[in-house]
Amino acid sequence: MFEKSSNPVFSKTSFNASFATTDQGVMTMQGTINKSLILLLTIIVSASLTWNMVLDGNSSATGFMLAGAILGLITAMITIFKKEWSGITAPIYAVFEGLFLGGISAFIEASFLTAKQPGAASHNGLVFNAIALTFGVFLVMLLLYKNRIIKPTQKLMMGIAAATGAVFLLYMVNMVMGFFGSNLPFLHSNGLLGIGVSVVIVIIASLNLILDFKNIEDGVAQGAPKYMEWFGAFGLMVTLVWLYLEILKLLSILNGRD
């Protein structure tokens, strides 16, 4: 039986509901890993497009970035509700998400280099550090899970689900306040409170990886349909994207204190 996951991609019945159709084989761990790598590479290639557009001063970059954000969200919702389509929608999601990530990363990187070290190579900047930390956190959480140092118990998963829901609520309130020209100060402050809140959110995003690993492992053990490899890889990418953005935000806040 699947535990409850705070990742909206993985619901309690994400895999169970699909057991009725298995004519294409069953889900395997290696297959899920392969598809995760495909989606990750797709995001990187797509992100390089808007990254270069921004750094080259192309005025179309903002449009591509916003389109990627909106279409990525729409594609993600379709994937969640139509899991059997994930072999098509997950790669499309990766393309759109890459367009958004490349653009927003380049804007933040350009701002960082201008403020801190004009003319410096971009690989020494904020984005490189955020990417390195994201993969570092991923590997640490994977090791903690494989060695059962952190166990995805029901209590832990319910706690992470509640914390993730609270973060989502905060961002929704902040977005609504933004329509009226205001915001939640502690979500943007570079003071100790702002840093503390950002660190907590990074930790919550990191713990969601444990839940993703658990759900993928359970899907393999229970013989989920082959297309669920794409769905499992998609869910993992959603968490990694969130984690990267939160780490990038935290580094930006810390940079603002210098």
Query: Tens of pLDDT along 9-57?
Result: 655 445 544 444 556 789 999 999 999 999 999 999 999 999 999 988 8
Q: What is the pLDDT of residues 170-220, one digit of tens each?
A: 889 988 888 888 888 777 777 888 889 999 999 999 999 999 999 999 999
Virtual torsion, Cα 10, 16, 19, 24, nearest 10 deg: 20
SS3 26: strand
The type of residue at 126 is: L
Mean pLDDT of the chain: 86
Q: Is the dihedral angle over the CA atoms 243, 101, 226, 37 positive or is it negative?
A: negative
Residue 105's pLDDT is 95
**Structure-token pair, residue 190:** 């570079």
Residue 220's pLDDT is 94
Residue 192's pLDDT is 86
pLDDT band at 227 (very low <50, low <70, confident <90, very high): very high
Q: In whole angstroms, what is the distance from residue 54 CA to residue 76 CA? A: 25
Domain ranges of the chain: 24-256
SS3 38: helix
